[in-house]
């Protein structure tokens, strides 16, 4: 599974990864589908990234680059072998079906009907491999009035209610400056794939996973549909405050830093107010419940904010820790890279890369005590493993040359 010329020293021998032996064909782009495949690859799946011969995955060009090398791709393409196939050509179609015959999972995010147009729909894929899991990740799902619209995670963040909730009271709805809906959908997609594989173990048959990016982020928002259904309640924008508890906000320290305070637990709320020298507020009848504390957020924010504003960040953090009250510094990425807790967890880890030397990126998503995941290599060059993968299918050198002549690879 290790690609040739991956660069760096060989990794030390590890126990077999939990998804070793699982083969995933990643046909998707930008970003939910590919990230789901990355998460599976991190725990041992053999992920084969299929890109168009003349139109590489757009993530290779997204965001900053170093020496012409796209950095986002190094993260998104890790633990994947890369091949090129033009699925719209007869040779590309036939090769994909041959790959699917020996695969466990296909992940795609074309608009509904695109694979069918190429003769690669579920009937053809399942005929090639009845145990296959076809995972379809689109903005709006495979059916319904919006199914054929173009869509991205930004539209999901708008449509699910997230943007309407985010921002200052009276201000405009606010979108996140990163792929939030796509990332949540990727987590949900990897879970959906594992669920479908568990079902296959019981039934012996594959199936289709239909993942609409507009749905997982709606689930993450919690009980808003239930509140509206039962109470007609529509939560307004509250900035950094919460309607469910207070004090809950960001506060500026004397040295110009920011900290975040949360008091979801009643005991923590009481500790915070005693710490900042306002124990009399704890005795107020309204202090006994988070929702009624939230109705008095101005009073509580003034009490906590004025105390914090008189102290440097380190003093605030130390005092809160001693009081067993919940606080965290507001970090940017520079702080993340040096934080001792992240370092202890190896959350941002160093990985050898043949083009850039050593790079640091987020580690695998969680730790398993017996069968851990790992980053075996970073994102590979476009089509770097095409010949090797096609040779594994039994294609001869003349057959691979013929596919190149056709423009299929």
Cβ contacts of 68 within 8 Å, gap of 6 or more: none
Q: How far apart are CA 314 and CA 377, in angstroms?
A: 38
| Look-up of token digits 């953090």 | 317
pLDDT at position 100 over 50: yes
Q: Write the DSSP string, 127-140.
A: HH-TT-EEEEEESS
Domains of the chain (ranges; CATH) run 23-220+346-406 (3.40.50.10540), 249-336 (3.30.1540.10)
Active-site annotation holds for 385: no
- Place 10 in a pLDDT band, splitting at 50, 70 and 90: very low
Strand (E) or helix (H) holding 313 = helix 313-322
Question: Would you call the peptide bond into 27 cis, given omega within 30 degrees of 0 as the criterion?
Answer: no
Q: How far apart are CA 254 and CA 311, in angstroms?
A: 5
* Tokens matching residue 365: 């998503």
For the residues 56-63, what does the mean pLDDT come to? 92
User: How confident is the model over 150-205, as pLDDT tens digits?
Assistant: 889 999 999 999 999 999 999 999 999 999 999 999 999 999 999 999 999 999 99
Percent of the chain topping pLDDT 70: 97
Average pLDDT, the chain: 95
User: How confident is the model over 313-368, as pLDDT tens digits?
Assistant: 999 999 999 999 999 999 999 999 999 999 999 999 999 999 999 999 999 999 99
Strand partners, 329: 259
Cβ contacts of 356 within 8 Å, gap of 6 or more: 66, 67, 69, 74
Active-site position among 57, 104, 182, 353: 182
pLDDT at position 5 over 90: no
Entry field: residues in the chain: 409
pLDDT at position 391 over 80: yes
pLDDT confidence of residue 61: 92
pLDDT at position 8 over 80: no
Q: How far apart are CA 29 and CA 74, in angstroms?
A: 14
Percent of the chain topping pLDDT 90: 95
For the residues 399-405, what does the mean pLDDT come to? 95
pLDDT at position 15 over 90: no
pLDDT confidence of residue 298: 96
Distance of CA 120 to the CA centre of its chain: 27
Q: Which of 84, 200, 181 is nearest to 133 (CA)?
A: 200
pLDDT confidence of residue 7: 45
Neighbours of 338 (CB within 10 A): 10
pLDDT at position 32 over 50: yes
For the residues 245-254, what does the mean pLDDT come to? 97
CA distances from 97 to 26, 83, 129, 151, 359 (A): 14, 14, 9, 27, 36
Torsion, CA 266, CA 268, CA 269, CA 271, rounded to 10: 130
Question: Would you call the peptide bond into 43 cis, given omega within 30 degrees of 0 as the criterion?
Answer: no
- Of 380 and 9, the structure prediction assigns the larger pLDDT to 380
């Amino acid at each position: 599974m290790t690609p040739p010329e991956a660069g760096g020293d060989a990794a030390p021998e590890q126990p077999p990864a939990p998804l070793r032996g699982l083969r995933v064909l990643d046909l998707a782009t930008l970003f939910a589908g590919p990230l789901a495949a990355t998460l599976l690859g991190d725990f041992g799946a053999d992920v084969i990234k299929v890109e168009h011969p003349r139109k590489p995955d757009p993530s290779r060009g997204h965001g900053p680059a170093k020496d012409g090398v796209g950095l986002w791709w190094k993260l998104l393409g890790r633990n994947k072998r890369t091949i090129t196939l033009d699925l719209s050509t007869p040779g590309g179609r036939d090769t994909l079906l041959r790959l699917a015959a020996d695969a466990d999972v296909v992940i795609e995010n074309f608009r509904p009907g695109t694979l069918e147009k190429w003769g690669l729909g579920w009937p053809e894929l399942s005929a090639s491999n009845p145990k296959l899991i076809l995972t379809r990740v689109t903005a709006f799902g495979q059916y319904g009035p919006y199914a054929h619209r173009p869509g991205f995670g930004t539209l999901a963040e708008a449509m699910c209610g997230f943007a309407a909730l985010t921002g200052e009271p009276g201000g405009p709805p606010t979108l996140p400056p990163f792929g939030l809906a796509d990332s949540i959908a990727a987590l949900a997609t990897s879970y959906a794939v594992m669920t479908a594989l568990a079902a296959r173990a019981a039934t012996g048959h594959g199936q289709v996973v239909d993942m609409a990016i507009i749905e997982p982020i709606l689930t993450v928002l919690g009980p808003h549909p239930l509140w509206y259904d039962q109470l007609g309640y529509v939560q307004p924008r509250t900035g950094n405050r919460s309607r469910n508890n207070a004090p809950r906000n960001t506060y500026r320290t004397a040295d110009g830093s920011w900290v975040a305070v949360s008091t979801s637990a009643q005991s923590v709320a009481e500790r915070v107010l005693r710490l900042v020298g306002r124990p009399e507020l704890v005795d107020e009848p309204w202090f006994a419940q988070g929702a009624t504390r939230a109705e008095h957020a101005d009073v509580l924010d003034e009490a906590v904010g004025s105390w914090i504003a008189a102290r440097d960040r380190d003093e605030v953090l130390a005092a809160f820790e001693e009081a067993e009250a919940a606080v965290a510094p507001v970090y940017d990425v520079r702080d993340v890279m040096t934080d001792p807790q992240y370092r202890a967890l190896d959350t941002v880890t160093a990985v050898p890369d043949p083009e850039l030397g050593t790079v640091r990126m987020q580690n695998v998503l969680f730790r398993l005590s017996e069968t851990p995941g790992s980053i075996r290599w970073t994102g590979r060059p476009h089509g770097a493993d095409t010949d090797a993968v096609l040779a594994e299918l039994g294609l001869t050198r003349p057959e691979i040359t013929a596919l190149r002549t056709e423009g299929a690879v």
